[in-house]
């Protein structure tokens, strides 16, 4: 966007280091990475050119919930991303730990660092990950740090508290890393990558030179052409009865169950202790052995996160088929850290308490690289918009998973690490991963987030998709007796007929256009129903609520709702309706009052909602 930007980090050598699993994507996360790519983010392309295994999840289910996932070369991903940042115009990197914020007249105006150097800026974006008063646990052993071998930001929390920002504690964890040559893969089941990889970036609308070099400098960047060639395998094994016995016997020694950890852990990525306690009826649990890269023999044990003492971890690992003689390179551990409940933010991710201060990532209570990247992108765009006195970028719930996530965070908050799932999106049928850049084109255009040539290609692609959808709905089959070509395609999709002959001109279109047209044609009825629901609800989203609205003075509004609304300060009636504890009767009272302020006028479809 052309803004003069500084990135401060405690260690430049660990920029983009994957602290946990070296994988990108997964259910709903894969769709979110494609949305990041549609809005100019780097995660998708960085994943594609450093990926070592690609898989499309939910392939047997409908396209709406199919999600790409890739295993990456951990170091290649990290080094390429750092190089990309170094080559980015208007961005300066600098190594220093931020120790406090500088406030003036209710606004943040800069930061202090451990080097006694102050940096001034018009807007500040805080992305602390797990480093904010980070504390690592291995049994009774505790070490300060945001991840093993790294530092803890110990003083920055005081600046937030001083500014009136509430902080709480969360917990996450990571499993041990094993030496590959010490593993017996003959006792495991091999999991290969897809023969036809599903990539994350929209390669059909970008310039080929975007992959490996920057045209202005001619510098080559790390990476390889994404393909099926040289994909590596992952391996599956299961816990044994002995594993369960070891966990149960030593449960009192786990930092999670001994009371050492106060923070709440992720429900959807539980530790092995949690699995055997919460799912006591399960005789075993699935584990994945995933390589950390092409140039290392280190393996990640997906599903074996724990905070048990190291000697117990050894027994635990050695009880698992194929891992009897495994050598541990790094221990598993839990990390506890500060986060700021995200209901303290506007939908732009700017703080409600301090002007020009934006929060993104795990400080907002989320878990995962993809969730953090999406928030970082939105916070970055909106920081520039704030500096330029422009309207913020707010993605609606019906436009994409990024919109669902941010609305969930700022409206409902979270008491545990938030993870994106397809089930969180009520309009997920509209969010197939291949449509991301078509859905979000207007945002990319308005904020100039991608190049003009790519914008033009996306607009052309969108036009071709819409034209072919309309054409196939009109073109008749066999003189018209069997309906349209689109009718024939839908019959085929439900197993009620053979695939109709398709026009040669359509078959000559790119595979991306053909797939999107087929998706829209096959799911036309369902998508129209979703779009009608979106249209019905859109009017309620248009009714803005003044930020100084006196909820407690409004007669007829329940006091519980008035207190909730006064605390959250929703920006429109739609957001107010999604706040926990606010019921439809409260919304009606609020609607009448707002209508009176508008001269008694409400949008025509409000009575239908």
Taking only the tens place, the pLDDT of each residue in 281-340 is 898 999 999 999 999 999 999 999 999 999 999 999 999 999 999 999 999 999 999 999
Question: Picking from 221-230, 270-279, 435-444, 470-479, which range would have the lowest pLDDT averaged per residue?
Answer: 221-230
Range 405-421 average pLDDT: 92
Task: Return the SS3 of 530.
Answer: helix
**Ramachandran angles phi, psi of 370, nearest 5°:** -70, -45
Rounded to 5°, angle at Cα 376 from 113 and 136: 60
Give the residue, 262 or 592, on which the prediction is more confident. 592
pLDDT at 212: 59
pLDDT in tens, 354-401: 999 999 999 999 999 999 999 999 999 999 999 999 999 999 999 999
pLDDT in tens, 447-497: 999 999 999 999 999 999 999 999 999 999 876 667 899 999 999 888 787
pLDDT in tens, 104-149: 998 999 999 999 999 999 999 999 999 999 999 999 898 988 888 8
Q: How confident is the model at residue 609 (pLDDT cuts 50, 70, 90)?
A: very low
Burial 430-466 (b: 16+ CB within 10 A, else e): bbbbbbbbbbbbebbeebebbeeebbebbeebbebbe
For domain 1-450, the CATH superfamily is FAD/NAD(P)-binding domain (3.50.50.60)
Range 512-522 average pLDDT: 95
From start to end of 58-213, where are the E strands? 67-72, 91-95, 98-104, 107-113, 118-120, 124-126, 135-138, 141-144, 168-174, 177-179, 189-191
Strands 286-291 and 298-302: antiparallel
Are residues 153 and 17 in contact, defined by beta-carbon separation less than 8 angstroms?
no
pLDDT at 68: 95
Range 275-285 average pLDDT: 90
For domain 543-608, the CATH superfamily is GidA associated domain, C-terminal subdomain (1.10.150.570)
Query: Given a cut of 60, is residue 235 above it in pLDDT?
Result: yes
Tokens describing residue 459: 């607009």
Domain ranges, ordered by start, for the chain: 1-450, 466-528, 543-608
Look at residues 398, 281, 413, 282 and name the one whose alpha carbon lies nearest to residue 341. Answer: 413
Question: Picking from 220-224, 494-498, 515-519, which range would have the lowest pLDDT averaged per residue?
Answer: 494-498
Are residues 56 and 68 in contact, defined by beta-carbon separation less than 8 angstroms?
yes
Query: Given a cut of 50, is residue 605 above it in pLDDT?
Result: no
pLDDT in tens, 165-210: 999 999 998 999 999 999 999 999 999 999 889 999 999 998 776 6
Are residues 431 and 425 in contact, defined by beta-carbon separation less than 8 angstroms?
yes
């Amino acid at each position: 966007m052309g803004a003069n930007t500084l990135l401060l980090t405690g260690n430049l050598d660990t920029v983009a280091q994957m602290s946990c699993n070296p994988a990108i994507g997964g259910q709903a996360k894969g769709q979110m990475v494609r949305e990041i790519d549609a809005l100019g983010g780097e995660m998708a392309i960085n994943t594609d050119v450093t990926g070592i295994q690609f898989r499309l999840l939910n392939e047997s289910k409908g396209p709406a919930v199919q999600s790409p996932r890739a295993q990456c070369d951990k170091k290649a991903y990290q080094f390429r991303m750092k190089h990309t940042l170094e080559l980015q115009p208007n961005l300066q990197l600098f190594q220093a730990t931020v120790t406090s914020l500088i406030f003036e007249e209710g606004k943040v105006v800069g930061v202090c660092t451990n080097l006694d150097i102050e940096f001034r800026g018009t807007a500040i974006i805080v992305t602390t990950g797990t480093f904010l008063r980070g504390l690592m646990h291995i049994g009774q052993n505790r070490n300060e740090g945001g991840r093993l071998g790294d530092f803890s930001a110990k003083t920055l929390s005081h600046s937030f508290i001083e500014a009136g920002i509430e902080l709480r504690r969360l917990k996450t964890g990571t499993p041990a890393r094993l030496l590959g040559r010490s593993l017996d893969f003959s006792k495991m089941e091999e999991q290969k990558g897809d023969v036809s990889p599903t990539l994350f970036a929209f390669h059909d609308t970008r310039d080929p030179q975007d992959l490996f070099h920057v045209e202005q400098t001619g510098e080559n960047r790390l990476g390889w052409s994404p393909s099926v060639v040289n994909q590596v395998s992952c391996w599956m094994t299961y816990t044994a009865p002995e594993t369960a016995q070891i966990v149960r016997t030593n449960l009192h020694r786990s930092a999670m169950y001994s009371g050492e950890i106060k923070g709440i852990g992720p429900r959807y990525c539980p530790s092995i202790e949690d699995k055997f306690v919460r799912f006591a009826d399960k005789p075993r649990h699935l584990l994945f052995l995933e390589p950390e890269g092409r140039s290392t023999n280190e393996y990640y044990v997906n599903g074996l996160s724990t905070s048990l003492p190291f000697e117990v971890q050894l027994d635990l690992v050695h009880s698992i088929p194929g891992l009897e003689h495994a050598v541990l390179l790094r221990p598993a551990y839990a990390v506890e850290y500060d986060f700021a409940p995200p209901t303290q933010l506007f939908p732009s991710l700017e703080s409600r308490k301090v002007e020009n201060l934006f929060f993104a990532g795990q400080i907002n209570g989320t878990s995962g690289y993809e969730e953090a990247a999406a928030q970082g992108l939105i916070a970055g765009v909106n920081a520039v918009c704030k500096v330029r006195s422009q309207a913020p970028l707010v993605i609606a719930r019906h436009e994409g998973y990024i919109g669902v996530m941010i609305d969930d965070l700022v409206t409902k908050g979270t008491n545990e690490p938030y993870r994106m799932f397809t089930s969180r999106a009520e309009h997920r049928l509209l969010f197939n991963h291949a449509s991301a850049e078509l859905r979000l084109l207007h945002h990319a255009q308005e904020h100039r987030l991608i190049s003009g040539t790519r914008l033009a290609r996306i607009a052309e692609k969108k036009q071709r998709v819409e034209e072919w959808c309309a054409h196939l709905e009109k073109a008749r089959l066999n003189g018209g007796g069997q309906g349209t070509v689109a009718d024939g395609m839908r019959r085929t999709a439900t197993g009620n007929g053979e695939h109709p002959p398709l026009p040669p001109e359509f078959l000559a279109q790119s595979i991306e256009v053909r797939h999107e047209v087929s998706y829209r044609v096959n799911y036309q009825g369902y998508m129209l129903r979703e779009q009608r629901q979106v249209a019905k609800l859109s009017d309620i989203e248009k009714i803005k609520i003044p930020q100084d609205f006196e909820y407690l003075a409004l007669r007829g509004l329940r006091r519980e709702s008035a207190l909730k609304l006064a605390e959250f300060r929703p920006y429109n009636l739609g957001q107010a309706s999604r706040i926990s504890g606010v019921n439809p009767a409260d919304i009606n009272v609020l609607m009448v009052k707002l209508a009176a302020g508008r001269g008694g006028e409400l949008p025509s479809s409000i009575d239908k909602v």
